[in-house]
Structure 1
Amino acid sequence: MSGTSFNDLRRLLARDQVHGTCDETGVRRLWWAALETLQQELLSNGRSGGLWLAAPLPALYEPELLRHLNGWVWAPESLDRLAPGQTALPAAGREASFEQGSHFQRLPLQDSDGQDPFLLVITPTLQLALALIGDPGQRQLLMRSDPETLSDALALLGHRLQQEHPLQAETLAEKLADLGPLHSDDELQQRFWPRLAERLATTAPSLTLQTSSPQASSPQAVPDASDREDDLSLLEALTHEVRTPLATIRTLIRSLLRRRDLPSIVQGRLRQIDVECSEQIDRFGLIFHAAELQRQPQETSLARTDLETILRSLAPGWGDQLERRGIGLVLDLEADLPPVLSDPRRLEPMLGGLIDRSGRGLPAGSQLILLLRAAGARLKLQLLVESSDQSPPGSEGSAADGDTTEQVGPVLSWDPTTGSLQLSQQATRQLLASLGGRYHARRERELTVFFPVAEESG
């Protein structure tokens, strides 16, 4: 196809910029760190709506954003050839489900477009473009937020859409008109690059296993502050390295699930992979946040949160998760309870983490009981276990948590009976405290959390 190429877009974004000096590994780390920085910036600005355009794959992966943004993605045709005569993603111009409740338009990527990623995001509060460009050894990450460059980039993409799909070009123009004129945010550049640098500083550039010296492995050796900081940096790096590919795998799985001609057994396996990816993304997200709190405690802004509604809406997913292990979930929630003070966006994965932790290692036939009751100026959330295991005290499922788990660094503990890593009691307590909760561990897997009731507004 003659006409607009995305190489033209990259050259446009690179005008007036010095050449880069990065290698491929380094520039890819910059790209992923930039995506995380951008998405955190968008999340902090609230749900204001907007649009995004990307190639060669969807770049955004935060569900909270994708539900409120309109997207256009140029994807390579090679994705359509995962199986002969079948389509992994909808055909050009057809809507594809990217996350539940969110959508993007799939469009064809041409051979002349190249494979380097780009992303444009336009919202009422944040407007910028990201891209990778450069020859080997001269790679660089581009970030542009000036209205002149963004206007030229949108005009180029609008022209590309007009060539391929005029109706989509009209839709893009309408969405841009609804957002109003482009504007300059002088503080964005000052915020973006330092936050990107901070994110890279807490992510190890590579992971190398080294043999410990005898002194370091001596029982008398006590980790000092620098060792603890290294442990936290390594943990943050590992969680980043795990979550990032899982998010990409989940995106491709959900694209495959749009196909109507897949055998039911394949659809079932893909959905199972999707669920497992989501659970691990949430699990490692909690570990990452726990490590961040250990490094630098943060002041969290708490808001009125309907805890009862959150529990009822999330319970079906937790029930499915536990059912795969042969465990039942019983919900016992008092009705008409007042809202509490918490952070609902972070509270949801935290509650899921508690359910996952309590269910791990339980024998089939057991039940988790989730209770919510009024308790004066607080609401009391309890997680109780009815185990089908009749093992004597001291065996798996009956001992106290401190008796069976071993501390692994400042954030994690290891359960030798199940072979699983989980948040330590101290890290769990600190995470819940940042969400307004007061955590009390009872026996293994059983817990109580008190949340403060929010005062009546007005």
Structure 2
Amino acid sequence: MEAAVNHTRLSDLLLDAEGFLGSSPLNSPGVRGTQARLVAEAEWRAAIAALTQLLPTLPRPTQGPSSHHQLSGMALSGPLPVLNEADFGKCFESWVVTPQPLASALQGQHALLPASGATPPPSLLNDQILPLTLNNPLLAERFCLVVSPALTMAMVLGQPTGGSPCFQYSFDPATLLVLWEQVRLHIAETATTSLDRLEQHFSQAIGAPDYRVVTRFTQLMTAHLPHRQNTALQANEERGNLRFTNCSEQIMGTSPNRSSSASQSPFLASITTPEAVHESADQQTELLQAMAHEIRTPLTTIRTLTRSLLRRKDVTKDMKKRLHRIDAECTQQIDRFNLIFRAVELETMERDRPRSSLTPIALNQIFHDAIPKWQQQAERRNLKLDVTLPPHLPRVTSDPTLLNEVLTGVVEWFTQCLPPQSHIHMGVMLAGHQLKLQFEAAPLNGHCSPEADVSYRRPPLKSVGQLLSVVPETGGVSLNLDVTKNLFELLGGKLIFRQRPEQGDVLTAFLPLDTREI
């Protein structure tokens, strides 16, 4: 009997529970197979982003001096960490159910470098690792169980028996306990010493979260969702006379006889026969799924392992510097791929469908987080980037989830083929009812000599399909300028590029001000 219970999927338990939320796993017309998995993974990522943003803002119970070591909550996830404990400090515990090889690496059981007299690092308080064998069925689904005084919820990305891949979540305490009992059956033999601590969390008086917390989570998750609805996924099938060039052709540039007409979308629409629609859509989504798995997932795992190693006390200064470099490189490639993936996703949407949720946002936090990364990115290319910001940054109307990615892509495109020793100045200023962001590039000495003029010219980029461009000298790949301009239009803004071989290139972006700021 226990073996049968052990093989019950968490997604099946959630499906049978009352009050589960998420995409329908059984009756989703037009969203099946690979398409359903793409939708579910997008919802899973949006939920994680919402949870990460919501948890630090939740109220915490007042604690006296004698209880200052008590933690205010915990998250149990698998098969990879979902929450970064560094974002919450000692107020939150993060537990991970993961395969044994990955558990060994996360726990630091394999030494980085031989060191005489070195003592094993102490176990981490905030990152508890619960190993399972590779063939354990619990590892077939992604899940996260959250217990805190203000928020109780369960999230699962899986595939219920007889259904399609889907994302499910619930705020019901009884459902959370049912899922915990199932997880407990799997980890009971290998995590005997940890069960007591976990039981303490799940045995406390758990209540349903306040409706305002649930509403806030829903709002944040919606804001982080890519702008893609089930009806958009059905668009080609329903209309039957319009498709977008196959994604492999977009990337590899092998599409023959590309045509254009007044009826095309702003992106990659081309006319074809109805019989080719289904095959093209399947090939496109399959390629997107393969790219998501083969590029983003391994890099995320590498970054997780790297950050785990950085927490070890026996890491030397030089090794820590190299690990930080690995972290930065992984993050840059993950962000770049996310932007390319988002651009392809937006290309496949209906022309007349609202593609972006424009809301008032403050730029202070975006610039605070992004500018140091942009400067590091420039330094790796032997460039210098300085920034001039006004004392008060007004709010703009844009897409909060897309703006940061697009701005990073703009910096990537602008810097990727500048000559070494170039100086880039970023200025932010008001321009009527818009906010103006201007990037200017020039040699570090401030002028071009006639002899250096030719070498300073921006080398021509080579198009790779209709989405990407590549720098032949370095192999650097990014979204091409036309697609980047289209993305800015989705943000409610405008992007202008001017080449001035003698003075330096200028890239100017305009974003509309929040009407309350005007």
Determine if the TM-score, normalized by the shorter chain, exceeds 0.5: yes
1:380, distance to aligned residue in structure 2 (A)? 0.8
Report what 1:153 is aligned to: 179
Q: Contact 1:408 / 1:414 at 8 angstroms: preserved in 2?
A: yes
Q: CA deviation at 1:331?
A: 0.7
Equivalent residue of 2:421, what SS? coil
Counterpart of 2:483 in structure 1 is: 427
Other structure's SS at 1:177 match = coil
Distance in 1 of aligned mates of 2:290 and 2:134: 35
Distance 2:334 2:382 in 1: 23
Quote the offset at 1:266 in angstroms: 2.6
Structure 1 residue 164, shift from structure 2 partner: 2.4
The answer for the alignment partner of 2:506 in structure 1 is 446
Taking the aligned partners of 1:10 and 1:383, their CA distance within structure 2 comes to 55
Question: Contact conserved, 1:310 with 1:348, CA < 8 A, in 2?
Answer: yes
- Residue 308 to residue 78, structure 1, CA distance change in 2 (3 Å): closer
CA pair 44-112 structure 1, distance change in 2 beyond 3 A: closer
Give 1:74's aligned residue: 97
Which of 410, 419, 435 is equivalent to 1:354? 410
CA deviations over 1:309-363 (Å, ceiling 9, x no partner): 5324421222122212221111112222321111233211221121122221323
Q: Distance in 1 between matches of 2:289 and 2:169?
A: 28
- Bigger Cα displacement from structure 2, 281-290 vs 352-361: 352-361
1:188 is matched with none
1:179 corresponds to 2:209 = yes
Query: What's the counterpart of residue 257 of structure 1?
Result: 310
Q: Which of 459, 470, 480 in structure 2 is aligned with 1:414?
A: 470
Q: Which amino acid aligns with 2:507?
A: L
- How many angstroms apart in 1 are the aligned matches of 2:94 and 2:453? 54
Which secondary structure does the structure 2 equivalent of 1:404 belong to? coil
SS of alignment partner, residue 371 of structure 2: helix
Q: Which residue of 1 aligns with 2:320?
A: 267
> Alignment partner of 2:393: what SS?
coil
1-structure distance, mates of 2:314, 2:378: 30
Query: In the comparison of the two structures, how many residue pairs are matched?
Result: 419
Q: Is the 8 A contact 2:375 2:384 kept in 1?
A: yes
**Is the partner of 2:394 in helix, strand or coil?**
coil
| Equivalent-residue separation in structure 2 for 1:37 and 1:196 (angstroms) | 16
- How far is the alpha carbon of 1:368 from its aligned partner? 1.3
1:193-216 deviation per Cα after TM superposition (whole angstroms, max 9, x unaligned)? x969959x99xxx989xx999xx7
**6, 9, 12: which one aligns with 1:8:** 6
Aligned-residue offset at 1:72: 2.3
- Cα offset for 1:265? 2.8
How far apart are residue 270 of structure 1 and its match? Answer: 1.9
Q: Structure 1 pair 162/443, CA: closer, same or farther in 2 (3 Å)? A: same
1:259 partner letter: R
Q: Among 269, 279, 283, which residue is 2:336 paired with?
A: 283
Structure 1 residues 234 and 346: CA distance shift in structure 2, 3 A: same
Moved more, 326-335 or 141-150: 141-150
1:336-351 → structure 2 map (5 Å cutoff) = 336-351=392-407
Shift of 1:155: 3.5
| 1:7 shift after superposition | 6.8
Q: Which residue of 1 aligns with 2:271?
A: 225
Residues 32 and 122 (structure 1), Cα distance of their counterparts in 2 relative to 1, 3 Å cut: farther
1:166 and 2:196 are equivalent in the alignment = yes
- Alpha-carbon distance in structure 2 between the residues aligned to 1:251 and 1:197: 34
Deviations for 1:343-399, whole angstroms, at most 9, x for unmatched residues? 233211221121122221323321111000111111111011023576868856424
Aligned to 1:94: 125
Mapped to 1, the partners of 2:100 and 2:136 lie a distance apart of 12
Once residues 90 and 338 of structure 2 are traced to their aligned partners in structure 1, the CA distance between those partners, rounded to angstroms, is: 20
TM-score, length-normalised on structure 1?
0.70
Look up the equivalent residue of 1:10 and give its one-letter code. Answer: T
Point out where structure 2 has 5 or more consecutive residues left out of the alignment.
17-31, 59-73, 114-119, 215-224, 237-242, 261-269
Shift of 1:60: 6.9
Once the two structures are overlaid, the 10-residue window that deviates more, 350-359 or 73-82, is 73-82
What is the aligned counterpart of 1:322 among 367, 375, 378? 378
For the pair 1:39 / 2:45, whether they are aligned, the reply is: yes
2:145–2:176: 8 Å Cα contact kept in structure 1? no
- Structure 1 residues 76, 221: closer, same or farther in 2, change over 3 A? closer
Aligned sequence identity (%):
25
Provide the rounded CA distance (Å) in 2 between the counterparts of 1:28 and 1:133.
Answer: 15
TM-score by length of structure 2 reads 0.63
| Residue identity opposite 2:79 in structure 1 | P
Gaps of 5+ in 1: 18-25, 97-104, 184-190
Distance 1:353 1:196 in 2: 28
Shift of the alpha carbon at 1:171?
Answer: 3.0
Q: Which of 435, 444, 456 is matched with 1:379 structurally? A: 435
Contact 1:13 1:153 in 2 (8 A): no
Contact preservation (8 Å) 1:35, 1:59: no
Contact 2:83-2:94 within 8 A present in 1 as well: no
- CA distances 1:140-185 after superposition (whole Å, capped 9, x unpaired): 968766866654222344685886242333234459436379x9xx
- Partner SS, residue 335 of structure 1: coil
CA contact (8 A) 1:94 1:106 kept: no
Residues 163 and 12 from structure 1, CA distance in 2 versus in 1: closer, same or farther, beyond 3 angstroms?
Answer: farther
